[in-house]
Amino acid sequence: MKPICTVLLITYNHAPYVRKCIDSVLSQKTKYPFIIKIFDDASTDGSSDIIREYAKKYPKLIEAHIAEKNTGAQANIWRAYKSVDTKYCILTETDDYWCDDEKLQLQIDAMEKHPECSFCGTNTWIVNASIKNTEYENNILVLNNPILKTKKIFSYDDFFPINNGGYIPYQSARMLRTEFLHLAEIKYKEVVLFDFNQFYWFLIQGKYYYIDRPTTVYRRLDNGVCSGKSPMLFLSDFIERTVEFNKQTNFKIADKICSEVILQSTFRLYLSEKQKGKFVIRPSKYKRFKYHLLSMCTFGRLRKKYKEKWKLQKAACRGVAK
């Protein structure tokens, strides 16, 4: 029977964690057939051997895709998404794991019953694997926005007025309807690879079905792709990737993206100041800083070309950017 869902597991030097991740997927109780594809980016710590062991033990369920040389996270994840030929897919990095053995059953049920939904999300636990990770409290839930308690199906319009990202499910908690990836049309790969961008990429194409229970665990490590970055480096990457999103989508929701960037900027500046014990940007200059963010994250150098739309979006963001 052809699988209906592909579980993509992404690994690089995750030997201490990879077994727990694979086992958490294998423990799923579901009537739906699925396949696990594990993409290892030429690990040097024994992760590859563990993956081969599982692929040999479960040859009909697990495919091992082990790179001969390291190509980087972006290339590895892009390769994983390009391999998907099933109706749905989920991507999980193997330092994380699933904590609900009904995750697949619940999410596929929801997507099958609601074809108008382009993706389905659940909540996620955050576990700090090191005392150095103080960005979030330990053992808390990622999603905390009250709007998620009001209903199950959401559209972009529901989130537009909300200046709080506590409704964006972590990547391992998302099930995607594969047809909306549109990889062949994408010029900027981070539109689907960057967690934040992917949420809005799918939201502007369909609706979001939310299941109000935690099904995954996000393990924050010192050397994680995101958790290992300093606040200002993370912010720099965040801005660059959101600018690419706006270009890819022809600035369709640039005002919303900008308000989210300003929110993220405030948070990252706070973290950086907390670490260094001094202001990164003095309060007297912060107003000008936010205006530059508004400019850069919407039209940038194309402001003149999109003069009227720039005025509208500046006005729409004024409550956030002033």
Closest CA to 224 of 117, 114, 133, 308: 133
**pLDDT reported for residue 22:** 98
Structural Rg of the chain based on CA atoms:
20
Domain boundary among 163, 186, 220: 220
Is residue 142 assigned to a domain?
A: yes
Report the number of distinct structural domains present in the chain: 2
State how beta strands 5-11 and 34-40 pair.
Answer: parallel
Residue type, 286: Y
**pLDDT reported for residue 239:** 81
* Alpha-carbon torsion, ordered 148, 150, 155, 159, to 10 deg: -60
**pLDDT reported for residue 305:** 64
Helix, strand, coil content of the chain in percent (nearest 5): 45, 20, 35
Task: Spell out, as residue ranges, where the chain has pLDDT lower than 50.
Answer: 133, 224-225, 227, 319-322
**pLDDT reported for residue 85:** 97
Residues 131 and 169 in one domain: yes
Closest CA to 5 of 34, 39, 37, 38: 34
**pLDDT reported for residue 231:** 67
**pLDDT reported for residue 319:** 46
Q: Is 282 exposed, middle or buried (0-12, 13-18, 19+ CB in 10 A)?
A: exposed
Domain boundary among 177, 195, 220: 220
pLDDT digits (tens, 9 = 90+) for 85-114: 999 999 999 999 999 999 999 999 999 999
Closest CA to 21 of 45, 54, 68: 54
Is residue 226 assigned to a domain?
A: no
Residues 243 and 216 in one domain: no
**Percentage of the chain exceeding pLDDT 70:** 76
Residues 165 and 16 in one domain: yes
Tokens matching residue 105: 């059953």
Residue 167 belongs to domain spanning? 5-220
Domain boundary among 220, 245, 264: 220
Residues 67 and 151 in one domain: yes
Q: How many helices (H) and strands (E) does the chain have?
A: 11, 10
**pLDDT reported for residue 204:** 97
**pLDDT reported for residue 221:** 73
Is residue 225 assigned to a domain?
A: no
Q: How far is CA 240 from CA 188, 236, 250, 322, in A?
A: 11, 6, 16, 22
pTM of the model: 0.86
State how beta strands 34-40 and 62-66 pair.
Answer: parallel
Residues 53 and 197 in one domain: yes
**pLDDT reported for residue 256:** 85
Tokens matching residue 113: 């019953």
Residues 240 and 211 in one domain: no
> What stretches of the chain show up as alpha helix (H) in DSSP?
18-26, 47-57, 73-82, 103-113, 156-159, 190-193, 195-203, 231-248, 254-276, 283-297, 307-321
Q: How far is CA 39 from CA 10, 16, 173, 249, 272, in A?
A: 5, 16, 18, 29, 34
